[in-house]
Structure 1
């Protein structure tokens, strides 16, 4: 994607267990709002959900730095700094890229915890147990069952809708980023470290779902505190009745409209 028509580029970055194509509704809406959009997958990710499920080895063993470098290279091909919209681990990646001054602004939705964030809710541990139960999963891609997906993503929607989202968008995810994030506060050189003190970065919006099992509110509020030493714009908005599926379920438009409204507020 190259910005050749003067429109501001928006780059959507997904998290673990969802395919890049799950951003389709968001991409269409942002296009209609006048942005140029793209939702590239993670390193090695096949173009389709079916392809990702059929060949999980292509996704395996990619860590946080690999993903950051992958998106930084995509950004380097643009004529202007993009706006980043990331969900879950994609929200962490967006914050890292923003801290490196590679983006004009970032929206981080239910973002995975960055280095320095201490809360470790039991629900988060339950979500990640399928990965952590086997140390070898650090180098593998791990799938969730439909039941595990309902707990991790779909606990605030009907079981039927959760299962439909699972069938449509769920793919295996590399275990390595989870192992890296889990060790972040014990590793002085952790790839989960974000330059939260950057005074010159663009605006950041943190969005959170009040019923999220994967990234509970306590994690997002603790993330906000990490930015207390920077005067750069850092805002937060909560959707009290939403869970981790908030970007893909029937209520996605409310979240997307809130992001667009915030961008307009900051003339982005």
Structure 2
């Protein structure tokens, strides 16, 4: 069991008091929960209540994270998923769950546990059974995977590495701004777990794609993403289509891994909202 912060507990209590449809946001590596601030405002202005827990031990600010990188180390996929499951378990209404990158994988695992009313996974990390490993993905993972000792470390990306993995489709000025505003170290552990998922039958990086309690799922892929290339998301979609619930795929043209935080985030939010609203309406 993981421990929720005082702020996270207060957010859960606020969400339950408001009584609206909750939306839970799950961030990925190298970002904090604050990366969802624009999305939270967008959904709250449209009548939802939102919650964005961090990963276990996440610092409050980017500055704190960069000055104390060791707090990010040794975070396993199962540990992070259980942290979010604990938060969601205290909600009075089953939430919508939206995740990005490793957060997109975790969102799918939470849906697999029957915890999600509707799920949106944006550029989600692959799971066991997703076979393509494009060269761009290998290059994006190289800052972690190039050194086995990084399994137990927190790894910081240089601007050049962040440029390739996240902001390859942006102008230089915006790329630098996003790096300074959002980038924090990330745990090496889940990167190694994902890399070995198809070799390890006991991996934590897995999903029961036929689970009938999963609920509707939308997978979104940035066409030019290097960290989770579109072929990886398409492969996940083909597997998830085996689920009896609705499974949809949407490509966002000319976008990289930063599509949730860059100048075009609203387009992705609107695509997500349309799918969510349609399927919440169908379930009522």
Q: TM-score range by the shorter chain?
A: over 0.9
CA distance, structure 2, for counterparts of residue 254 and residue 244 of structure 1: 14
Matched-pair contact (CA < 8 Å) for 2:28–2:100:
yes
Aligned residue among 28, 34, 50 for 1:21: 34
How many matched pairs? 268
Aligned to 1:174: 187
Matched-pair contact (CA < 8 Å) for 1:9–1:82:
yes
CA distance, structure 2, for counterparts of residue 228 and residue 111 of structure 1: 15
TM-score (norm 1): 0.98
Answering whether residue 69 of structure 2 is matched by residue 69 of structure 1, we say: no
Aligned to 1:153: 166
Shift of residue 229 of structure 1?
A: 2.2
TM-score (norm 2): 0.92
Aligned residue among 100, 111, 130 for 2:143: 130
Matched-pair contact (CA < 8 Å) for 1:63–1:176:
yes
Please identify, of 229-238 and 24-33, the stretch whose mean Cα deviation from structure 2 is larger: 229-238
The Cα RMSD (Å) is: 0.9
Structure 1 unaligned regions, length at least 5: none
Answering whether residue 210 of structure 2 is matched by residue 197 of structure 1, we say: yes
Aligned residue among 36, 39, 59 for 2:52: 39
Aligned to 1:249: 262
Answering whether residue 254 of structure 2 is matched by residue 222 of structure 1, we say: no
Please identify, of 226-235 and 143-152, the stretch whose mean Cα deviation from structure 2 is larger: 226-235
CA distance, structure 1, for counterparts of residue 26 and residue 242 of structure 2: 26
CA distance, structure 1, for counterparts of residue 18 and residue 184 of structure 2: 34
CA distance, structure 1, for counterparts of residue 227 and residue 48 of structure 2: 30
Q: Deviations over 1:59-116 (max 9, x none)?
A: 1101100101110111111112111100000000000000110111110000000110
Matched-pair contact (CA < 8 Å) for 1:100–1:195:
no
CA distance, structure 1, for counterparts of residue 134 and residue 97 of structure 2: 27
Moved over 6 A (4+): none
CA distance, structure 2, for counterparts of residue 68 and residue 124 of structure 1: 23
Aligned to 2:18: 5
